[in-house]
A = this chain, B = another copy of it.
């Protein structure tokens, strides 16, 4: 694990790191905020924040205005990249919604993508192990959140592995990827046409198949979001209701899909994780 940058911020430290990921078969970068207590060696709860299409490990830390709230509640933040970089797959850099910057937090099953496009294994398994070995992050108190494509990932990780991800939230998540153009592109390329792969990753399908998380899922969604018709929050709400999965979907009349929206509600999403990860038993 090599450190690329380190900055004092809100009495903690923002760091950018790189290491050779086995899951991705490539070096990858990530951002990490360690609150003051972690710098003093205390194990702290941690929230993974997954960014959306075209973003990098820097985007969420720079644009979401989350650091001060993480600092206030003593939470660490982890911000992975959104895809492998430099996999040398032809067409990797041709579209904003496929390849570089668009890993969709899935494990590709079709070649040539399957060799490196394994963000599910990287974020869900390898990365927590690597980080918990290197930093005072409490592997028993992990939350996950994300924006757009990253919101989809956060919901999927949370539903598939509720023992690891105790708290879950999302901003404007892609709720039913299997049904929308972004997901159809993923099906054709990463999955070689095998639609059934989506049963591992599509939040609505996961709910229908019986996956649950114990806590309430918190989702914020702007109603002026330019992608609203293909984000499908109504389908998520319906699937959660039918599945008995507690979900608070907050609709915000005037907000769009940008980080200007994310930063407007970040305080209460961070609070959602802080309450779930730091409260006493029963609290």
Chain A residues packing against B (C-beta within 8 Å): 7-11, 14, 62-63, 65, 67-68, 222, 224, 252, 254-256, 258-261, 263-264, 267
Contact = CB atoms under 8 A, between A and B. Distances in A.
B258 A7 contact: yes
A263 B222 contact: no
A254 B7 CA distance: 9
A9 B264 contact: yes
A260 B222 contact: no
A260 B7 contact: yes
Given A9-B260, A10-B263, 17 more contacts: A7-B256, A7-B258, A7-B260, A8-B224, A8-B252, A8-B264, A9-B264, A10-B264, A11-B264, A62-B62, A65-B65, A65-B67, A65-B68, A65-B263, A67-B260, A67-B263, A68-B263
Nearest to A266: B68
A256 to B, nearest CB: 6
Contacts of A10: 263-264
